[in-house]
Chain A
Amino acid sequence: MPVGAASWSFTEDDYGAILRSLQQFLYDSNARSALLVDRSGQLVATVGEPPQFDPTAFATLTAADFSANDQLARLIGETEFNSLFHQGEQESMYLVDIARRVILVILFDNRTTLGLVRLKVKHAVEELTRLFAEMFQRGRDQANPPNILAGAEDEIDRLFQ
């Protein structure tokens, strides 16, 4: 059995459910925007005010930040830091783990408070954890890994001529 990193995928329905959950959270918490980033640094979704920065770069740095903090946690004898908080003068960010596979990043300013964000995020985290657990389970249940490129060998060869 080849062991590399497993691949995973999500459908438009998954995506819709993720967006609905995040939109509800933004509405309840008054946060500006929310981003979902997978642990390897890939951006999954963005909702709320469109960010004024490069979201791909942001996602990569977020994953690195979270991984580095995981290691820091281990050094001091914790298994993980489930959430991280970075406070700025105007803008702050709160990062929280979802199912050990993705990171939810919340950007907020003084229109709300850390307390409210934390309170409201609990529900979103539960919902997203369930959604992602289903998505990953589905990935494992599939007899074959995602094969959208099945039979595309020639096309792949042509792409790299």
Chain B
Amino acid sequence: MSMINYASREINCKIVYYGPGLGGKTTNLEHVYGRVQPNTRGKLISLATETERTLFFDFLPVDLGTIRGFKTRFHLYTVPGQVYYNASRKLILKGVDGIVYVADSQLERMEANLEAMQNLYDNMQEYGYDLTTMPFVVQYNKRDLPNAAPVTELQGALNPGWEVREPPKQRVTPDPYHAGENLIEQITSGEWVERAPYFEAVAVTGEGVFDTLKAVSKLVLKTLA
């Protein structure tokens, strides 16, 4: 639920990093925290336990610049990874404007990835939010590891696309981030599908972290334009 404050001339938006436990959500925020100018960000808050780094959420507010005289302020949240924290995961989604799904590319985490994706769809649906019509990007993290699954395999499993029914949207739409690929296209069955933009990342080194954040932030601001 973006909030526009005409008195202080600020636009506030909420972005949630979702995904399986230990996939690198907290690491994404830590990298952002470490790289932006201190005067453009607030405190990084973590409600964590010893065993899992995130108990309730991590939170980081960042300013990404000014548009039309309005400061754009993004509130970044992560959710806890374990399913038994589902109540907290759901709470964090309240009022969300954009979602980053952080997948763990390691082959043996495929099931955990799928479970977290299904859980995301379910929780969004409970709020009446439709993931297919809101800012949503997918990040394949841990690309540095030797046991990382190929991106095409991850795309097939986690981001296979959803059907596009409205005729005006049934137009080939190139993926601005990957030459030669499309975000919206007609598949061999004749069906039109749309996929979420995706990014490869190595959150520990910061690779792909800002590309992901910028992409989702841009989508969020464009919903206001």
Report B-chain residues with C-beta under 8 Å of the C-beta of A143.
Answer: none
Report A-chain residues with C-beta under 8 Å of the C-beta of B134.
Answer: 2-4
Residues 17-61 of chain A: 1 if any B CB is under 8 Å from the residue's CB, otherwise 0? 000000000000000000000111110100000000010110011
B97 CB–A CB distance under 8 Å: yes
Report A-chain residues with C-beta under 8 Å of the C-beta of B91.
Answer: 64, 67-68, 71
Report B-chain residues with C-beta under 8 Å of the C-beta of A5.
Answer: 1-2, 14, 95-97, 127, 129
Report A-chain residues with C-beta under 8 Å of the C-beta of B130.
Answer: 2-4
B3 CB–A CB distance under 8 Å: yes
B133 adjacent to A56 (CB under 8 Å) = no
Instruction: Choose, from B17-25, B61-69, B109-117, B180-188, the stretch at the interface.
Output: B61-69
A39 adjacent to B95 (CB under 8 Å) = yes
> What is the minimal beta-carbon distance from B76 to any residue of chain A, in angstroms?
11
Beyond A11-B7, A67-B94, whether A160 also contacts B217 by CB under 8 A is yes
B179 CB–A CB distance under 8 Å: no
A60 adjacent to B59 (CB under 8 Å) = yes
Question: Within the complex, which residue of A8, A12, A54, A149 is in contact with B43, where a contact is CB–CB below 8 Å?
Answer: A54
A76 CB–B CB distance under 8 Å: no
Beyond A5-B95, A5-B97, whether A44 also contacts B5 by CB under 8 A is yes
Beyond A5-B96, A7-B224, whether A38 also contacts B3 by CB under 8 A is yes
Residues 51-64 of chain B: 1 if any A CB is under 8 Å from the residue's CB, otherwise 0? 00000110101001
Q: Give the size of the chain B interface in residues (CB under 8 angstroms).
A: 49
Report B-chain residues with C-beta under 8 Å of the C-beta of A42.
Answer: 3, 12, 14, 75
Q: Which residue of A lies closest to B99 (CB)?
A: A4
> What is the minimal beta-carbon distance from A76 to any residue of chain B, in angstroms?
14
Instruction: Choose, from A83-91, A107-115, A151-159, the stretch at the interface.
Output: A151-159
Question: Within the complex, which residue of A40, A71, A150, A157 is in contact with B218, where a contact is CB–CB below 8 Å?
Answer: A157
A155 adjacent to B68 (CB under 8 Å) = yes
Report A-chain residues with C-beta under 8 Å of the C-beta of B56.
Answer: 64, 68
Report A-chain residues with C-beta under 8 Å of the C-beta of B224.
Answer: 7, 145-149
A9 adjacent to B4 (CB under 8 Å) = yes
Q: Which residue of B lies closest to A2 (CB)?
A: B133
B70 adjacent to A148 (CB under 8 Å) = yes
B129 adjacent to A4 (CB under 8 Å) = yes
How many angstroms from the CA of A2 to the CA of B129 in the assembled complex? 9
Given contacts A71-B87, A152-B221, 18 further A-B contacts (CB under 8 A): A2-B223, A4-B133, A5-B127, A11-B6, A15-B6, A41-B14, A42-B14, A57-B43, A71-B91, A145-B224, A148-B4, A149-B221, A150-B225, A152-B225, A155-B68, A156-B222, A156-B225, A160-B64
